[in-house]
Structure 1
Amino acid sequence: PYHPEVAGIPCVAAVDQLQAKVDTVTVYVRADLLIKDVAKIIALAPRRVIFNPGTESAEMLAAFNEAGIATEEACTLVLLRTGQF
Protein backbone atom coordinates (compact mmCIF):
# COMPACT_ATOMS: atom_id res chain seq x y z
CA PRO A 1 0.00 0.00 0.00
CA TYR A 2 3.01 2.31 0.27
CA HIS A 3 4.52 2.13 -3.21
CA PRO A 4 2.98 2.80 -6.64
CA GLU A 5 5.38 0.23 -8.11
CA VAL A 6 8.04 -2.29 -7.09
CA ALA A 7 10.78 -3.33 -9.51
CA GLY A 8 8.82 -1.66 -12.31
CA ILE A 9 5.64 -3.61 -11.55
CA PRO A 10 2.58 -1.46 -10.75
CA CYS A 11 1.09 -1.96 -7.27
CA VAL A 12 -2.31 -1.25 -5.76
CA ALA A 13 -3.05 -0.38 -2.14
CA ALA A 14 -6.01 -2.74 -1.82
CA VAL A 15 -7.24 -5.97 -3.39
CA ASP A 16 -10.40 -4.37 -4.71
CA GLN A 17 -8.32 -1.89 -6.76
CA LEU A 18 -7.03 -4.60 -9.09
CA GLN A 19 -8.16 -4.07 -12.67
CA ALA A 20 -6.78 -7.19 -14.35
CA LYS A 21 -8.06 -10.77 -14.37
CA VAL A 22 -6.49 -12.65 -11.46
CA ASP A 23 -5.54 -16.30 -11.93
CA THR A 24 -3.83 -17.01 -8.61
CA VAL A 25 -3.77 -15.28 -5.25
CA THR A 26 -0.74 -16.15 -3.16
CA VAL A 27 -1.12 -15.46 0.56
CA TYR A 28 1.92 -14.31 2.54
CA VAL A 29 0.24 -12.66 5.53
CA ARG A 30 -1.30 -14.31 8.57
CA ALA A 31 -5.02 -14.99 8.60
CA ASP A 32 -6.03 -12.33 11.12
CA LEU A 33 -4.67 -9.65 8.78
CA LEU A 34 -6.29 -11.07 5.65
CA ILE A 35 -9.67 -12.27 6.87
CA LYS A 36 -11.21 -8.83 6.27
CA ASP A 37 -10.36 -9.14 2.56
CA VAL A 38 -11.79 -12.62 1.89
CA ALA A 39 -14.95 -11.27 0.23
CA LYS A 40 -12.83 -8.97 -1.96
CA ILE A 41 -10.64 -11.89 -3.02
CA ILE A 42 -13.71 -14.01 -3.79
CA ALA A 43 -15.05 -11.12 -5.91
CA LEU A 44 -11.86 -11.29 -8.01
CA ALA A 45 -12.83 -14.89 -8.90
CA PRO A 46 -9.30 -16.29 -9.02
CA ARG A 47 -8.81 -19.88 -10.16
CA ARG A 48 -6.93 -20.67 -6.95
CA VAL A 49 -5.54 -19.35 -3.69
CA ILE A 50 -2.19 -20.60 -2.39
CA PHE A 51 -1.58 -20.41 1.36
CA ASN A 52 2.13 -20.24 2.15
CA PRO A 53 3.32 -21.83 5.41
CA GLY A 54 2.01 -19.93 8.42
CA THR A 55 -0.93 -18.37 6.56
CA GLU A 56 -3.32 -21.32 6.70
CA SER A 57 -6.85 -20.67 7.94
CA ALA A 58 -9.71 -23.16 8.11
CA GLU A 59 -12.20 -20.28 7.89
CA MET A 60 -10.65 -18.83 4.73
CA LEU A 61 -10.21 -22.28 3.15
CA ALA A 62 -13.90 -22.98 3.69
CA ALA A 63 -14.94 -19.59 2.28
CA PHE A 64 -12.85 -20.01 -0.88
CA ASN A 65 -13.92 -23.63 -1.39
CA GLU A 66 -17.57 -22.67 -0.93
CA ALA A 67 -17.08 -20.01 -3.62
CA GLY A 68 -15.67 -22.65 -5.98
CA ILE A 69 -12.09 -21.39 -5.71
CA ALA A 70 -9.40 -24.07 -5.45
CA THR A 71 -7.03 -23.78 -2.49
CA GLU A 72 -3.57 -25.12 -1.90
CA GLU A 73 -1.30 -25.11 1.13
CA ALA A 74 2.23 -24.89 -0.24
CA CYS A 75 5.32 -22.73 -0.45
CA THR A 76 5.06 -20.62 -3.60
CA LEU A 77 8.84 -20.43 -3.95
CA VAL A 78 9.07 -24.23 -3.92
CA LEU A 79 6.24 -24.48 -6.46
CA LEU A 80 8.02 -22.03 -8.75
CA ARG A 81 11.42 -23.69 -8.32
CA THR A 82 10.06 -27.15 -9.08
CA GLY A 83 7.87 -26.09 -12.01
CA GLN A 84 4.61 -26.84 -10.18
CA PHE A 85 3.26 -23.30 -10.05
Structure 2
Amino acid sequence: MSQIETVVVLGASNKPDRYANKAQKLLRAHGHTVLPVHPLLSEIEGLPVLPSLAAIQQPVDTVTMYIGPERSAALADELVALKPKRVIFNPGSESELLEQRLRAAGIPFEEACTLVLLNTGQF
Protein backbone atom coordinates (compact mmCIF):
# COMPACT_ATOMS: atom_id res chain seq x y z
CA MET A 1 0.00 0.00 0.00
CA SER A 2 2.88 2.37 -0.60
CA GLN A 3 1.42 4.41 -3.44
CA ILE A 4 1.54 8.18 -3.14
CA GLU A 5 -1.83 9.68 -2.23
CA THR A 6 -3.48 13.07 -2.01
CA VAL A 7 -4.57 13.30 1.62
CA VAL A 8 -6.85 15.89 3.21
CA VAL A 9 -6.15 16.56 6.89
CA LEU A 10 -9.52 17.81 8.14
CA GLY A 11 -8.95 19.74 11.35
CA ALA A 12 -5.32 20.54 10.53
CA SER A 13 -3.33 22.17 13.31
CA ASN A 14 -0.25 24.38 13.53
CA LYS A 15 0.39 23.12 17.09
CA PRO A 16 3.19 20.50 17.09
CA ASP A 17 1.63 18.57 20.01
CA ARG A 18 -1.62 17.91 18.12
CA TYR A 19 -2.13 14.59 16.36
CA ALA A 20 -3.33 16.36 13.20
CA ASN A 21 0.01 18.18 13.02
CA LYS A 22 1.98 14.98 13.66
CA ALA A 23 -0.03 13.21 10.93
CA GLN A 24 0.57 16.04 8.46
CA LYS A 25 4.34 15.81 9.05
CA LEU A 26 4.38 12.01 8.79
CA LEU A 27 2.23 12.01 5.64
CA ARG A 28 4.66 14.44 4.00
CA ALA A 29 7.64 12.36 5.17
CA HIS A 30 6.06 9.38 3.39
CA GLY A 31 5.80 11.45 0.19
CA HIS A 32 2.05 12.04 0.20
CA THR A 33 0.50 15.27 -1.05
CA VAL A 34 -1.13 16.89 1.97
CA LEU A 35 -4.07 19.30 1.80
CA PRO A 36 -4.61 20.77 5.27
CA VAL A 37 -8.12 22.11 5.94
CA HIS A 38 -8.91 24.58 8.71
CA PRO A 39 -11.26 27.58 8.50
CA LEU A 40 -9.01 29.97 10.45
CA LEU A 41 -5.44 29.11 9.42
CA SER A 42 -3.79 30.20 6.17
CA GLU A 43 -0.52 28.25 6.33
CA ILE A 44 1.06 25.42 8.34
CA GLU A 45 4.79 24.82 8.02
CA GLY A 46 4.92 26.22 4.50
CA LEU A 47 1.79 24.47 3.24
CA PRO A 48 -1.21 26.59 2.26
CA VAL A 49 -4.30 25.72 4.29
CA LEU A 50 -7.68 25.45 2.60
CA PRO A 51 -10.63 27.02 4.45
CA SER A 52 -13.08 24.18 3.69
CA LEU A 53 -13.60 20.87 1.91
CA ALA A 54 -15.53 22.78 -0.77
CA ALA A 55 -12.34 24.71 -1.61
CA ILE A 56 -10.58 21.53 -2.79
CA GLN A 57 -10.41 21.44 -6.57
CA GLN A 58 -8.62 18.13 -7.17
CA PRO A 59 -9.27 14.42 -6.71
CA VAL A 60 -8.67 13.17 -3.16
CA ASP A 61 -7.56 9.69 -2.17
CA THR A 62 -8.02 9.95 1.60
CA VAL A 63 -9.63 12.32 4.09
CA THR A 64 -8.21 11.83 7.57
CA MET A 65 -10.54 13.26 10.22
CA TYR A 66 -9.28 15.23 13.21
CA ILE A 67 -12.51 16.97 14.24
CA GLY A 68 -15.18 15.58 16.52
CA PRO A 69 -18.69 14.58 15.44
CA GLU A 70 -20.23 17.75 16.88
CA ARG A 71 -18.27 19.82 14.32
CA SER A 72 -18.11 17.34 11.44
CA ALA A 73 -21.89 16.84 11.12
CA ALA A 74 -22.20 20.21 9.36
CA LEU A 75 -19.61 19.05 6.80
CA ALA A 76 -21.42 15.89 5.69
CA ASP A 77 -22.60 17.34 2.35
CA GLU A 78 -19.15 18.73 1.50
CA LEU A 79 -17.47 15.45 2.46
CA VAL A 80 -19.78 13.37 0.27
CA ALA A 81 -19.47 15.87 -2.62
CA LEU A 82 -15.66 15.60 -2.44
CA LYS A 83 -15.94 11.86 -3.24
CA PRO A 84 -12.70 10.75 -1.57
CA LYS A 85 -11.61 7.15 -2.13
CA ARG A 86 -11.73 6.64 1.65
CA VAL A 87 -12.19 8.41 4.97
CA ILE A 88 -10.21 7.64 8.12
CA PHE A 89 -11.92 8.42 11.43
CA ASN A 90 -9.07 8.95 13.89
CA PRO A 91 -9.82 8.28 17.58
CA GLY A 92 -12.35 10.84 18.82
CA SER A 93 -13.60 11.76 15.34
CA GLU A 94 -15.96 8.82 14.88
CA SER A 95 -19.41 9.90 13.68
CA GLU A 96 -22.40 7.62 13.15
CA LEU A 97 -24.05 10.33 11.03
CA LEU A 98 -21.06 10.68 8.71
CA GLU A 99 -20.61 6.92 8.51
CA GLN A 100 -24.25 6.54 7.42
CA ARG A 101 -23.83 9.27 4.79
CA LEU A 102 -20.58 7.77 3.49
CA ARG A 103 -22.08 4.28 3.39
CA ALA A 104 -25.07 5.59 1.40
CA ALA A 105 -22.69 7.34 -1.04
CA GLY A 106 -20.53 4.23 -1.47
CA ILE A 107 -17.44 5.89 0.07
CA PRO A 108 -15.31 3.49 2.12
CA PHE A 109 -14.29 4.50 5.63
CA GLU A 110 -12.48 3.05 8.59
CA GLU A 111 -11.97 3.84 12.25
CA ALA A 112 -8.21 3.85 12.63
CA CYS A 113 -5.23 6.00 13.58
CA THR A 114 -3.45 7.57 10.61
CA LEU A 115 -0.17 7.66 12.55
CA VAL A 116 -0.36 3.94 13.34
CA LEU A 117 -1.32 3.10 9.74
CA LEU A 118 1.66 5.06 8.40
CA ASN A 119 4.12 3.68 10.95
CA THR A 120 3.08 0.07 10.32
CA GLY A 121 2.97 0.27 6.51
CA GLN A 122 -0.83 -0.16 6.39
CA PHE A 123 -1.71 3.30 5.08
TM-score, with length taken from structure 2: 0.66
The corresponding residue for 2:97 is 59
Q: Does 1:70 align with 2:108?
A: yes
Q: Which of 58, 65, 69 pairs up with 1:20?
A: 58
Q: Secondary structure at the match of 2:88?
A: strand
Q: Distance in 2 between matches of 1:26 and 1:73?
A: 10
Unaligned runs of 5+ in 1: none
User: % of aligned pairs identical?
Assistant: 46
Cα displacement (A) at 1:18: 1.0
Cα displacement (A) at 1:47: 0.5
Map Cα deviations across residues 33-80 of structure 1 (whole Å, 9 max, x no partner): 011011101111000010011111111111101101001000110001
Cα RMSD of the aligned pairs, angstroms, is 1.0
TM-score, with length taken from structure 1: 0.93
Q: Secondary structure at the match of 1:46?
A: coil
Q: Does 1:82 align with 2:112?
A: no
The corresponding residue for 2:71 is 33
Runs of 4+ more than 4 Å apart: none
Q: Secondary structure at the match of 1:83?
A: coil
Q: State the aligned residue count.
A: 85
The corresponding residue for 1:48 is 86
* Counterpart AA for 2:109: T
